[in-house]
């Protein structure tokens, strides 16, 4: 005898209250932990940022002070002046335009070639290029009299002066300036900043009542711990969070009241608890009312599954087993769907066969390298296209318009699949027909755009790059209709071609496209591509990007016989390695041209 199935109400009512109470308690406890960690992280970050801002200002002040002194020194030093020892810097050197030290207070520096010296070549290069030098200020780890920072400027006679500062000198400037920065400053509204010297004496603090707390905080104590580490300190029963960092012989200390921090946590917890309780009560009442409808719920579940099936999710199955009636209905629906899936599979096989024919037709419309083009003495060519679906929207073309003129192009149609493929055929034919006999390339592309816009009710568009090369002189005229910039490889260095970008084709029929020009040199390689290359994604949805493309093309030698094929294969391999097995999201099309040099 078949057992009697329990009703929905009898099953869910027993567990609903217990589960919801447990969830509420768990989420409340989790909220307490998260709120505390987030608040403590925010407190530590606030204290550290406040200290970093002050250190940055002090460092900037030291640099500006030294640079101002250099401006006065520039006016003071005249041709023939040799009494460098009287200048109040730790090290002063006069350098000629070739980087040779002519005079210096450091005798070991006289005659040194700064341009060739590994330790100084970078400094002198910056001084010569910018006419001014201001090196960063590091913290000295050794002898405080050792030179750790240089400043410099160009003199009126074409020579240069470079001055060095020791840690002691920098410390002296900081000592004079330190009280200018922290006075009357606080951390947020409830914290404070102050500076102490190496003797634990306060040298700068806010001018308000908080200064008394600072004095009590330091009474008989030293600032302990690692720099950047948050610690708790107590003053007369009041707890503060404290972080400090060092600059020169000073410590910059930031503190924030624990009471104020905990108040924020308490307020957030109360709000989250109230909201959680409201949500709990609302959810409990709603579910309880729904459970009372013992018949409606199974019907709604079946209807929802049927909606997914009619929406195309044919792997969905109805699995309502709450009663014998619904069990019979579920089995009948599942059998019907299985029969539909078999019919669809047969139709899909037929469509795949038709798409294969469409792919063959599309590829037949693309040009092939004839023997005359493949082994041409003036240029080399290679092209490839890999569609994301059975058919795609990218295309390329190349042909000789006369005995010394090569026309080549690459384009990308918006969208994918059959619509993009059909628009691609129209766009390719239109561009090729418009340009074959035209003298002005810009006017030809403008005429082609008018024809592409005509009847474009679907609002599709094309990005295209069209070039005409005089294979004898290397003169290249081109039009860029919103396409990705080609890569020019010259002497092994790859760079994006700098050019003006006009509007994409198919958007507006009154656009005037501009002809641009470039003189190719012998051995130059021009690599054209669609955005399926740079926008290829890996398993984490990251983009391949333009930087990786340039990196893949740098160092290419133009002397290889099949260099154009090598370039395209190298990029394809680089993209495949980056994708790491991720599915191809867009059509990837490439066209590479190498100019071998005119007659």
Q: How far apart are CA 443 and CA 453, in angstroms?
A: 15
What is the per-residue pLDDT for 222? 65
> Which are the contacts of 384, defined by CB distance < 8 A and separation ≥ 6?
568, 572, 589, 590
Q: What is the pLDDT of residue 232?
A: 80
Say if CB 463 and CB 445 are below 8 A apart.
no
Domains of the chain by residue range: 1-190+259-292, 191-219+227-258, 296-349, 367-595
SS3 469: strand
If we measure between CA atoms, which residue out of 17, 5, 2, 18 comes closest to residue 294? 5
Integer-rounded Cα Rg, in Å, for the chain is 38
Cβ atoms of 120 and 140 closer than 8 Å = no
* pLDDT at residue number 337: 76
Per-residue pLDDT, 229:
83
Q: CA separation (Å) from 308 to 304, 315, 319?
A: 6, 9, 14
Q: In the prediction, which pLDDT does 287 show? A: 64
Phi, psi of 29 (to 5 degrees): -65, -40
- One of 3.40.605.10, 2.30.30.90, 3.60.40.10, 3.20.20.20 is the CATH number of 367-595, namely 3.60.40.10
How distant, in Å, are the alpha carbons of 145, 264, 363 from that of 584? 61, 49, 19
Q: Which residues contact 113 (CB under 8 A, 6 or more apart)?
A: 98, 99, 100
DSSP code string of 266-293: HHHHHHHHHHHHHHHHHHHHHHHHHHT-
Residues 6+ apart with CB under 8 A from 247: 55, 58, 59, 174
**Pick among 3.30.450.20, 3.40.109.10, 1.10.260.40, 3.20.20.140: CATH of 191-219+227-258:** 3.30.450.20
Tens place of pLDDT per residue across the chain (599 aa): 556 666 555 666 667 777 877 887 888 788 778 877 887 787 778 878 887 887 777 777 777 777 777 777 776 676 566 678 778 788 888 889 888 998 888 888 888 898 888 878 888 888 888 888 888 777 655 677 788 888 888 888 888 888 888 888 887 777 777 766 555 566 766 677 778 877 777 777 766 555 566 766 665 566 777 777 888 877 777 788 888 888 777 888 888 877 777 777 777 777 777 777 787 777 767 766 666 555 666 666 766 777 777 777 767 777 666 677 666 777 777 777 777 777 776 766 665 555 565 556 666 668 877 777 777 889 999 998 887 776 677 889 998 888 899 999 999 988 777 777 788 888 888 888 888 655 789 999 999 999 999 888 888 999 999 999 999 999 999 999 999 999 999 999 999 999 999 999 999 999 999 999 999 999 999 999 999 899 999 989 899 999 999 999 998 876 777 899 999 999 999 999 999 888 887 889 999 999 988 65
Torsion angle, CA of 481/485/489/490, rounded to 10 degrees?
A: 70
Which residue has 């009126």 as its token pair? 156
CA distance 313 to 27: 34
Would the CA dihedral through 300, 305, 308, 309 be positive or negative? negative
**Sheet with 101-104, edge to edge strand ranges:** 101-104, 91-95, 160-166, 147-154, 132-134
Tally of CB atoms within 10 A around 570? 14
List, for residues 536-549, the tens digit of each pLDDT value. 999 898 999 999 99
Domains 191-219+227-258 and 367-595 share a fold: no
């Amino acid at each position: 005898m078949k057992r009697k199935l329990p009703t929905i109400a009898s099953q869910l009512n027993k567990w609903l209250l217990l589960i919801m109470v447990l969830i509420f308690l768990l989420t409340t406890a989790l909220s307490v932990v998260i709120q505390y960690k987030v608040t403590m992280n925010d407190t530590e970050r606030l204290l550290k940022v406040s200290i970093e801002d002050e250190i940055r200002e002090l460092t900037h002040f030291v640099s500006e002070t030294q640079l101002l002194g250099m401006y006065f020194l520039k006016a003071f030093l005249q041709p023939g002046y040799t009494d460098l020892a009287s200048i109040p810097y730790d090290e002063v050197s006069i350098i000629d335009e070739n980087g040779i030290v002519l005079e210096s207070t450091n005798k070991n520096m006289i005659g040194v070639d700064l341009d060739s010296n590994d330790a100084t070549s970078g400094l002198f290069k910056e001084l010569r290029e910018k006419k001014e030098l201001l090196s960063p200020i590091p913290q000295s780890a050794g002898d405080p009299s050792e030179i750790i920072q240089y400043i410099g400027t160009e003199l009126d006679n074409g020579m240069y002066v470079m001055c060095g500062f020791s840690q002691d000198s920098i410390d002296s400037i900081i000592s004079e300036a330190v009280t200018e920065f922290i006075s009357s400053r606080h951390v947020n509204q409830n914290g404070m900043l102050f500076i102490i010297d190496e003797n634990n004496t306060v040298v700068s603090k806010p001018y308000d009542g908080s200064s008394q707390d600072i004095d009590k905080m330091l009474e008989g104590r030293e600032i302990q711990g690692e720099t950047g580490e948050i610690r708790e300190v107590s003053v007369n029963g009041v707890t503060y969070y404290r972080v400090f960092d060092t600059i020169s012989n000073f410590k910059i200390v930031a503190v924030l009241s624990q009471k104020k921090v905990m108040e924020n946590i308490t307020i957030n917890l109360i709000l989250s608890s109230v909201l959680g309780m409201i949500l709990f009560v609302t959810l409990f009442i709603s579910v309880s009312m729904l459970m009372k409808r013992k018949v409606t719920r199974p019907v709604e579940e079946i209807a929802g599954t049927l909606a997914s099936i009619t929406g195309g999710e044919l792997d969905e199955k109805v699995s309502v087993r709450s009663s014998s009636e619904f069990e019979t209905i579920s089995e009948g629906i599942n059998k019907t769907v299985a029969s539909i899936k078999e019919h669809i599979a047969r139709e899909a096989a037929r469509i795949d066969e038709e798409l294969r024919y469409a792919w063959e037709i599309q590829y037949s419309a693309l040009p092939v390298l004839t023997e005359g083009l493949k082994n041409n003495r003036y240029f080399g060519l290679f092209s490839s296209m890999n569609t994301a679906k059975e058919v795609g929207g990218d295309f390329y073309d190349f042909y000789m318009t006369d005995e010394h003129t090569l026309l080549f192009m690459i384009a990308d149609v918006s969208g994918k699949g059959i619509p993009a493929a059909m628009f691609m055929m129209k766009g390719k034919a239109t561009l090729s027909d418009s340009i074959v006999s035209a003298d002005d390339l810009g006017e030809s592309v403008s005429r082609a755009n008018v024809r592409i816009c005509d009847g474009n009710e679907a609002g599709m568009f094309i990005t295209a790059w069209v070039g005409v090369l005089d294979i004898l002189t290397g003169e290249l005229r081109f039009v860029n209709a919103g396409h990705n910039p080609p890569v020019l490889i010259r002497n092994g260095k790859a760079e994006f071609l700098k050019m003006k970008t006009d509007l994409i084709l198919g958007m507006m029929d009154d656009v005037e496209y501009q002809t641009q020009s470039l003189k190719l040199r012998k051995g130059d390689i021009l690599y054209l591509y669609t955005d399926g290359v740079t926008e290829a994604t890996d398993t984490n949805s990251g983009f391949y990007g333009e930087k990786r493309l340039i990196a893949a093309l740098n160092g290419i030698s133009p002397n290889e016989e099949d260099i154009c094929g090598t370039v395209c294969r190298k990029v394809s391999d680089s993209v495949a390695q980056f994708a790491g097995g991720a599915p191809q999201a867009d059509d990837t099309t490439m066209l590479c041209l190498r100019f071998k040099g005119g007659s």
